[in-house]
Amino acid sequence: MTTWKSTGEHELTSENLVALLNNEIAAIRIKGFATPKECADFADAAKHGNVKYYSVARKIGYIGQAQYEYRWNPDKSLYFKAVEEANHDLKDVVEKTFDPVARFIQHLARVYPESVAVAEEPGLGKYYAGIIRLASQGVDLHVDYAPFNTLDYVIKNIDAQLGWNFFAEEPGEGGATTIYNNPWSPEMKPGEIPQSYGLDKSLTEGVPSLTYEPTAGDIVIFNTRNPHEISAGAEGAVRDRVSIGSFVGRMPDSSLVLWA
């Protein structure tokens, strides 16, 4: 993996998207992805949706389904059954406002010459793409990279992975994401998945980094093979950090696929 040529944010163009996939730049921001009214409506619909919580120290609310939670399950059909329920929960939100996932795919398709679509597992169906998160307490240092995070799903064949988040509501202070240019290369053992959450801070020492703010209405995209963390929102903030996003992977045929 290459070192960033730039630690700043860039516009979404064909050249910049490929550069981000190749880890040559730090991030892409799509400004004004949604209107203030769309943001307010989406945040309200999300807060009234079927919010669940991860079993981690910092309270993280979510709507949707992460494939990562099924990484050890040999019966993949169980994940795709969970996808049906997650899609129902997401539909309950987007029907009250707009569909950020569909709009984002349209943005990528305008600048990328190959196919852009939700990932699909042969014989089982489409993945879930679009987890809504309410994460005002922050998220610990972690990495997301399917070739290391999953053993027996088609997404393990990607050669680059991005993450995107649309921000519908910002905490006003805090809630910033910091990305460290130190692509994760853990020791891989046959049949094992390395720990990728709550990583050691030594991975962040002496490497370039970018910290970006969760501005309501914008999308930010970055390479998730780099360690990243989210700071907590300010104590007593009246607003939450409400977002929706997924991963984007580049397959061997250069097509882009989305999943959460």
| Residue 48 predicted with pLDDT over 80 | yes
Quote the pLDDT of residue 211: 95
Q: What angle do CA 175, 98, 118 make, to 5 degrees?
A: 85
Quote the pLDDT of residue 233: 64
Rounded Cα gap, residues 81 and 72, in angstroms: 16
- pLDDT bin (cut points 50, 70, 90) of residue 198 is confident
| Residue 136 predicted with pLDDT over 80 | no
User: Looking at the 3D structure of the chain, how many domains does it have?
Assistant: 1
Mean pLDDT of the chain: 91
- pLDDT bin (cut points 50, 70, 90) of residue 5 is very high
Across the range 236-257, mean pLDDT stands at 89
| Residue 109 predicted with pLDDT over 80 | yes
Quote the pLDDT of residue 200: 87
Beta strands 25-30 and 52-53, pairing class? unpaired
| Residue 207 predicted with pLDDT over 60 | yes
3-state secondary structure 94-126: HCCCCCHHHHHHHHHHHHCCCCEEECEECCCEE
1 in any annotated domain: no
| Residue 73 predicted with pLDDT over 70 | yes
**CA-closest candidate to residue 167, choices 239, 107, 236, 113:** 239
Across the range 199-222, mean pLDDT stands at 93
Across the range 228-244, mean pLDDT stands at 77
Rounded Cα gap, residues 29 and 38, in angstroms: 18
108 in any annotated domain: yes
150 in any annotated domain: yes
Quote the percentage of the chain above a pLDDT of 70: 94
68 in any annotated domain: yes
- pLDDT bin (cut points 50, 70, 90) of residue 56 is low
Domain range for residue 158?
6-259
Across the range 100-117, mean pLDDT stands at 98
Domain CATH for 178? 2.60.120.620
Across the range 168-188, mean pLDDT stands at 87
Quote the pLDDT of residue 185: 86
**Paired tokens of 14:** 């064909």
180 in any annotated domain: yes
Quote the pLDDT of residue 194: 83
Quote the pLDDT of residue 1: 57
Quote the percentage of the chain above a pLDDT of 90: 71
